[in-house]
Amino acid sequence: MNMDSKGNKFGLFRFLKSFGYAAEGIKSVWSSEQNFRIHSCVGLVVFIAAYLLSVSAMEWIVLVILVFAVLALETMNTAIEKAVDLSQSGYHPLAKAAKDLASGAVLLFAVGTAIVGGIIFIPKLLELILTR
């Protein structure tokens, strides 16, 4: 059975519409999820600090990938939470486990990202402080 009710048509219009759906998803996660807004603001601070501290091109690449990966993972966490809520009207231990696991994945990645940020920024900040 075909799961795609829209058929198998390909085309520019359908491709462009997919960007609209993606934009709706981003607007939805921004408006409904405090953690997404927090991660977005932290990402902006990271990008400002990277600019001010003149990080290398490779460091920029790493930072951009990590910031957007955290945002993408937070969005997937929200999708999982909403799918679980849709499929389970009341409390169920497996529903709780699924939501906790998805949230834990975001936390693990965010901690790893913060560690990488420290590896990039701490030496630059120390150099800035010690050369004054």
State the catalytic residue, choosing from 33, 74, 81, 127: 74
Under a CB-based contact definition with an 8 Å cutoff, are residues 59 and 50 in contact?
A: yes
Distances 46 to 30, 34, 120 between C-alpha atoms, Å? 19, 18, 11
d(CA 55, CA 53): 6
Which tokens hold the place of 6? Answer: 């829209």
Q: Quick check: is 24 catalytic?
A: no
**Residues with active-site annotation:** 74
